[in-house]
Chains A and B, each alone.
Chain A
Amino acid sequence: MNIVGQFLAIIRKDLQTEIRTKEILSSMLLFAFLTVVILNFAVDLKPRVLREVFPGFLWVVFIFTGLLGLNRSFKNEQENDCIYGLNLAAWESSIIYLAKTCSNLFFMLIMEVIIVPIFFIFFDLNPPSLLGIFILTIFLGTFGFTAVGTLIAALTANTKSNEILLPVILFPLIVPLILGVVQVTKGVFLNLPLESWSYWLKIILIFDLMYFLVPALLFTYLLEV
């Protein structure tokens, strides 16, 4: 099997497991939905104020929900030492990283496609006029989050307290990404002038690129022990 074939095979395996067990997506969706409801109870804001804080809500929900999926993604491979099998099967360890990142990204994007409309409905907001940039930002932000998150999940899967350690390690690392995506989302939502927020896309892109390439390089060290 060539590299692309191996890459696709791992993704197919993850999707197939998910279709059969339905444990990741269902819990992510329910959790995100519940958080939207809780947020509505917790804050009762005027529409103008709501538009200001809405981007923050959106990303907090995405991140917390994303954790659920990330926590599972390598812990499942520890059962029956599946990770060794994966490592033996793949030519390059980085293929495992890339495939895992892609399947995590895929799960999160599905969750977001469903949750974002629910957000708009439950908060009674209209989608922003710059819909394209809004979607692009969600994609880039989610990509950066899963890229670094997949690596940290692979690291913490080796510990007993992985569920606690994953957010503790991951959150400080994604500070720049969160700052960036919230600023861009806010700019889009409040119809602020383009030049007051577009430069944040640079930070997001740098973050995405760095935290995609460096883990791909380091992943072989992770699997060899």
Chain B
Amino acid sequence: MHWLNWITLTVIILANYLVFIWVPLEKVMGAVQKIFYFHVATAWVGFFAFFVVFIFSIFYLITKNERWDRYSAASAEIGVVFISIVILTGAIWGRAFWGQWWTWDPRLTTSLVLWFIYIAYLLFRSAIEEREKKASLSAILGIIGFLDVPVVWFSIRWWRTIHPNLMETGGKMAISPKMGVTLLLAILAFTLLYILLMTRIISLQKLADEIYRLKEEIRSHWI
């Protein structure tokens, strides 16, 4: 996967160039608005990563092929990192724009709940020893957890309609074509990074399995 490294690096550099030099400043928010490109792009990848966990969990339960379980685990790990970035950048943006670090805005809150669900998913994985059991049980959790996302989203949106919604009243942003292009490239950059990280984690897992196998072989040899 040599070429993927280079493509990803190039797109990331290009995206940074667009974000920091090429794209014009937003009129109201100024330089702070640039966090938007990172925020939205990581959010997209984060949600996508959890969707991948969901799909691969179903695949695993149907086929019982260990590969799908590995992919789900890798995707969940990356998803948690990306959603952490989403929450952090969201808080910084909120502080700069609304004057407070945290608002119970539907998008932020849904991300937070998702973050909790997938951290729990990873904790759960690490708490089970046997390989096959771990795969089946965490696949069930991967399905159940993702089904919660739409319900969480709607319930929090309803909940917030009772209170003033900062996002709706003051947060509207007109996106110019240049901004649109920059955002798309940022999303592409983070998606490539996601795929790259996936391949890295999966090859790490394979190496770990190989070490485990060799250890077992040596052990059986000496006994």
Q: Measured between alpha carbons, how far is A215 from B140 in the docked complex, in Å?
A: 9
| Bitwise interface map of B from 124 to 156 toward A, beta carbon under 8 Å scored 1, else 0 | 100110101100110111011101100110111
Q: Measured between alpha carbons, how far is A207 from B147 in the docked complex, in Å?
A: 10
In this assembly, does A37 line the interface, its C-beta being within 8 Å of a C-beta of chain B?
A: no
Q: List CB contacts (< 8 Å) of A169-225 with chain B.
A: 169, 171-173, 175-176, 179-180, 183, 199-200, 203, 206-207, 210-211, 214-215, 218, 221-222, 224-225
Q: Are A151 and B124 in contact (CB under 8 A)?
A: no
In this assembly, does A155 line the interface, its C-beta being within 8 Å of a C-beta of chain B?
A: yes
Q: Measured between alpha carbons, how far is A172 from B137 in the docked complex, in Å?
A: 18
Distance in Å: Cβ of B86 to nearest Cβ of chain A? 16
Q: Are A180 and B133 in contact (CB under 8 A)?
A: no
Give the residue of A169, A173, A214, A225 whose beta carbon is less than 8 angstroms from that of B132: A225
In this assembly, does A146 line the interface, its C-beta being within 8 Å of a C-beta of chain B?
A: no
Distance in Å: Cβ of B123 to nearest Cβ of chain A? 6
Q: Are B141 and A200 in contact (CB under 8 A)?
A: no
Q: Measured between alpha carbons, how far is A171 from B145 in the docked complex, in Å?
A: 11
A: residues with CB less than 8 A from B are 148, 151-152, 155-156, 158-161, 165, 168-169, 171-173, 175-176, 179-180, 183, 199-200, 203, 206-207, 210-211, 214-215, 218, 221-222, 224-225
- Interface size grouping (class) on chain B: 20 to 34
B: residues with CB less than 8 A from A are 61, 113, 116-117, 120-121, 123-124, 127-128, 130, 132-133, 136-137, 139-141, 143-145, 147-148, 151-152, 154-156, 158-159
Q: Are A172 and B120 in contact (CB under 8 A)?
A: yes
Q: Are B159 and A160 in contact (CB under 8 A)?
A: no
Q: Are B158 and A203 in contact (CB under 8 A)?
A: yes
Q: Measured between alpha carbons, how far is A18 from B51 in the docked complex, in Å?
A: 41
Q: Are A179 and B145 in contact (CB under 8 A)?
A: no
Give the residue of B124, B136, B145 whose beta carbon is less than 8 angstroms from that of A159: B124
Distance in Å: Cβ of B171 to nearest Cβ of chain A? 22
Choose among A155, A161, A173 the residue with the greatest number of B CB atoms under 10 Å from its CB.
A173
Q: Which residues of A contact B124 (CB under 8 A)?
A: 155-156, 159, 165, 169
18 A-B contacts (beta carbon < 8 Å): A152-B141, A156-B124, A158-B133, A159-B127, A161-B127, A169-B141, A172-B116, A173-B117, A173-B145, A176-B154, A203-B154, A203-B158, A210-B147, A218-B61, A218-B140, A224-B136, A225-B132, A225-B136
Q: Are A207 and B151 in contact (CB under 8 A)?
A: yes
Q: Are B143 and A165 in contact (CB under 8 A)?
A: no
Nearest chain A residue, comparing its CB with the CB of B135: A225
Q: Measured between alpha carbons, how far is A112 from B192 in the docked complex, in Å?
A: 52
Q: Are B144 and A151 in contact (CB under 8 A)?
A: yes
Nearest chain B residue, comparing its CB with the CB of A204: B155
Given A165-B123, A172-B120, A225-B136 in contact, is the A215-B152 Cβ separation under 8 Å? no
